[in-house]
Amino acid sequence: MTDLVRMLKALADPTRLRLVELLSSRQELCVCELVDALAIAQYNVSRHLRVLKGAGLLVDWRQGRWMHYAMSPDLSAVERGLVAAVCARADQEAVSRQDRRRLKGSLRPRVGREVVACD
């Protein structure tokens, strides 16, 4: 039960909800892409990503100096359903549409799982 509470608390923040909405629609994203999409400072994005990772929603890995995040493959069916329900609601918000539009314009080219160029 405490894992569910931690997850719900993590999803209760508007910025974290925006991050989860973007990450749930992609295989993985670099922090620089998330910064561009949300149009907020990198340190704020990183802080919110740490909370989401601590709640078990995300996994991360490093490629050189860049951090990448993805939805955790270890989420249970109930947890995936919760995220899907939250994202379906967020999908109707104008800010989510703006985030997706900015993300589309800032996606870095990839070769396999490697980001080719990230500023």
Q: What pLDDT shows up at residue 71?
A: 96
Whole-angstrom distance, CA of residue 9 vs CA of residue 57:
12
Q: Specify the CATH architecture of the domain 2-104.
A: Orthogonal Bundle (1.10)
- Contact predicate 87/21, CB 8 Å: yes
Angle between helix 31-38 and helix 14-24 axes, rounded to 10 deg? 120
User: What residue spans define the domains of the chain?
Assistant: 2-104
Q: What pLDDT shows up at residue 21?
A: 93
Note the pTM of the prediction, 2 decimals: 0.85
Mean pLDDT of the chain: 87
